[in-house]
Amino acid sequence: MRNFKKTLTLALAAGAAVLLGACTTTGMGGGEIVQKGQPDKPVLFSWKSTDGGITGTMTATLPTATFTGPFLQITQQTQSQAMAPMWGGWPVGWNDWSYWGYGGVAGMGGMGMMPGFDAVQFATVYSGKVIANLRSPTGGIMRCRLHMLRPQQGMSGGGTGECQIQGGPTIQANF
């Protein structure tokens, strides 16, 4: 009986590990560092998620540095506190970076949202967009904003966008 319980426990643990592994999704993408007057340089992106590509970790490997950090797909269910880590090291709401073709954003109730949008409206308008805040081991930071081609599939649905290294160049990204 004791061996049966041990075997059953091991089997359940192995089954749980398989199920958890089945929920993990990964993907890759590419990009180019675009700097005026210089040739484009390649960037490799990879990501990993345990919730179907809605949240997870993203890595950008550049010729001279690697940046890693969280990403978040903005959905109608996204709460403002879930976005807070994305602003780390940058102005809240990235109000210094024209956002998805709407021009600069203004601080709305301290949230840095577009004028006229509260947090719920912001999540509705930007549903299907992904934001990321990545860091290098040497303290560099990079922010990314991506447009999902098939938002219901999360990052697995593919997308395009751009990333910006603080004090540095812009990166055109494709997933």
Measuring CA to CA, which residue among 147, 157, 137, 164 is closest to residue 49? Answer: 157
Q: For residues 101 and 121, which has the higher predicted lDDT (pLDDT)?
A: 121
**List of domains in the chain:** 25-174 (2.40.128.120)
Taking only the tens place, the pLDDT of each residue in 87-96 is: 899 888 787 8
Integer Cα distance of 39 and 37 in angstroms? 7
pTM to 2 decimal places: 0.73
Please give the pLDDT value at position 125.
55
pLDDT at 141: 97
Is residue 56 within 8 A of residue 47, CB to CB? The reply is: yes
Gap between the Cα atoms of 69 and 47, Å rounded: 10
pLDDT tens, 3-47?
433 333 333 333 333 344 457 999 999 999 999 999 999 999 999
Query: Which comes out higher in pLDDT, residue 67 or 82?
Result: 67
pLDDT tens-digit map of 102-145 = 333 333 333 444 444 455 555 555 568 899 999 999 999 999 99
Evaluate whether 72 touches 132 at the Cβ level (below 8 Å): yes
Average pLDDT over residues 55-67: 97
The DSSP code sequence of 155-167 is: GGG-EEEEEEETT
Task: Give the pLDDT of residue 45.
Answer: 98
Main-chain dihedrals φ then ψ at residue 85, nearest 5 degrees: -65, -20
Q: Where are the alpha helices (DSSP H) in the chain?
A: 2-23, 80-83, 119-125
